[in-house]
Chains A and B, each alone.
Chain A
Amino acid sequence: MSLRTPPLHARHDDRGAKFTEFGGWDMPVEFTSIREEHASVREHAGSFDVSHMGQIFVSGPDAVALTNRLTTNDVNTLSPGDAQYAAITDEDGVMLDDVVVYCLPESDEHDLLFVPNAGHDEQMVTRWERFRDQWELDATIENATADYGMVAVQGPDAPGIVADRAEPTGSPENTDGSVLDLSKFQATYADVEGVECWVARTGYTGEDGFELVFPADQAEAVWDSIVEDAEPCGLGARDTLRMEMGFLLSGQDFHPEDEPRTPYEARIGFTVKLDTKFVGHDALERQKADGVDQQFVGIVLEERGVPRHGYDLEMPDGEHVGHLTSGTMSPTLDEPIGLGYLDVEHAESGTELNVVIRDRPKTATVTYPPFLEDQ
């Protein structure tokens, strides 16, 4: 099967990017060095091509009702221009993906836009259609992933860099003429270099900034302008940045077959609104009452080495108590950090345990992300 390519693929190739397969897409993983790109986002600004993320429009009288019954959060609370983080769970409450749902302006031909992770778009469209039919709801689902590009501009200087180029169109009316008026998890249409973009104050790095969605055939105009001031960054830096914040990576920190986890185990219970009815509700209600056996934690390795996906966690006496799902050498802290699931009875912050690296136990301390202060 050939890989899907983002509309900016040729731009990245010209710049000498290294590419990697991710979720069925051929994406830039590194432009100069992960360490440099990471630092530019923490200290200044970086831009990421995230066109591998899906774009799915839901429209019609039951668009909100359908989406509310397929996501853990409460879509009913959204006003035009609002964004909401949510999990998609199966009947057992196990996460299939995590998404951001946007409520579009009344004037828009669509009602909702939601953004699943790379390679999940077709699965989500099928899911929405199947339940629409089963529940006899009136909604249209459109997979627009190939028609749109998406760029994240992140870092302390990112808001100014985007605001200098973006002129809100007044739809929806949640700005006073500048995208800087947007709060976290708010969005607006705006003109950027003559291109109509959906500009949202969201991100995956822990820094301030925006994510822009725009027609794929106009991607270059937007990208070329933004990278004049925000260094191009690849998926490598995106991964190290999100790990420092403890943000989940779909397919790695949770996966329906390889790492089946509920939102409570993954410590995103804030996305679960049990007063709404959704697939997985009853299982999650039970788990909330009973408590979880394992939960998502951070660890800092106290010895030399690098924590990685799949490494086991043991107590000093050798008892197996969990495993890591992500890990790296934190470029900001210059410390080895990991994320994973740990038995709750050992999950108190400050607990000393071992990470088993190539059959050798190495001392680590349990902590709760974010690993960085003052973000």
Chain B
Amino acid sequence: MTFDVPEDCYYLDSHEWYRPMDGKIGISDFAQDELGDVVFVELPAVGDHIEQDDEFGVVESIKAVSDLYAPVSGEVVAVNDDLESQPELVNEDPFGDGWLLEVEIDDDGELENLLDDEDYDAQIQ
């Protein structure tokens, strides 16, 4: 099975991604496939601050509850409200309409702590 691993994203080994281009955070194609049908997402509010590697929310599928970890530190500037009524967007389009948060990153230096697309791709093989 092959999974989408866009090269413009950085990854945590717990399968969250951060995209410098638009500041968005989400979970990977591999993660949504492992979880199965996503039915509920619990996210912080706009204005909250998240810390790299700390829990920032929860994603639940029919069969499992999974904590979400922050790939970078920063202030939440937008939350994907569509997921409240359409959590399945996380399955259908994990790098597009299924994004979770948009953040204003504190320190670009944190990207060094993340995996690039090649390393992440190797991890999920």
For residue A38, which residue of chain B has the nearest CB? B62
Q: How far is the CB of A281 from chain B (nearest CB, A)?
A: 38
Alpha-carbon gap, A92 to B70, bound state (A): 49
**What is the size category of the interface that chain B forms with chain A?**
10 to 19
Type the 1/0 row for A318-336, where 1 means its CB is closer than 8 Å to any CB of B: 0000000000110100001
Q: Identify which of residues 5-48 in chain A touch chain B, using a CB-to-CB cut-off of 8 Å.
A: 16, 18, 29-30, 33-35
The stretch from B23-31, B35-43, B73-81, B103-111 touching chain A is B35-43
Decide if B58 is an interface residue (CB 8 Å cutoff): yes
For residue B37, which residue of chain A has the nearest CB? A35
Chain B residues whose CB sits within 8 angstroms of the CB of A239 once the complex forms: 63
Is B65's CB under 8 angstroms from A308's CB? yes
Alpha-carbon gap, A336 to B40, bound state (A): 10
For residue B39, which residue of chain A has the nearest CB? A329
Q: Which of B42, B60, B62 interacts with A331 by CB under 8 Å?
A: B62
Alpha-carbon gap, A34 to B91, bound state (A): 13
Count, A-B residue pairs, CB within 8 A: 37
Is B40's CB under 8 angstroms from A328's CB? no
Q: Which of B1, B36, B39, B84 interacts with A306 by CB under 8 Å?
A: B39
Type the 1/0 row for B1-21, where 1 means its CB is closer than 8 Å to any CB of A: 100000000000000000000
Instruction: Please tell me the number of chain A residues within 8 Å of chain B, measured between CB atoms.
Output: 19
Chain A residues whose CB sits within 8 angstroms of the CB of B63 once the complex forms: 29-30, 34, 236, 239
Chain B residues whose CB sits within 8 angstroms of the CB of A35 once the complex forms: 37, 62
Q: How far is the CB of A30 from chain B (nearest CB, A)?
A: 6
Is A34's CB under 8 angstroms from B62's CB? yes
Chain B residues whose CB sits within 8 angstroms of the CB of A33 once the complex forms: 36-37
Is A240's CB under 8 angstroms from B62's CB? yes
Alpha-carbon gap, A304 to B87, bound state (A): 11
Q: How far is the CB of A64 from chain B (nearest CB, A)?
A: 40
For residue A20, which residue of chain B has the nearest CB? B63
Alpha-carbon gap, A306 to B42, bound state (A): 11
Which residues on A are within 8 Å of B, measured CB to CB? 16, 18, 29-30, 33-35, 236, 239-240, 304-306, 308, 328-329, 331, 336, 358
Which residues on B are within 8 Å of A, measured CB to CB? 1, 36-37, 39-40, 42, 58, 60, 62-63, 65, 84
27 sampled A-B residue pairs with Cβ under 8 A = A30-B36, A30-B63, A33-B36, A33-B37, A34-B36, A34-B62, A34-B63, A35-B37, A236-B36, A236-B62, A240-B62, A304-B40, A305-B40, A305-B42, A306-B39, A306-B40, A306-B60, A306-B65, A308-B65, A328-B62, A329-B39, A329-B40, A329-B60, A331-B37, A331-B62, A358-B42, A358-B58
Nearest 4 A-B pairs (CB), nearest first?
A: A329-B39, A35-B37, A34-B62, A306-B60
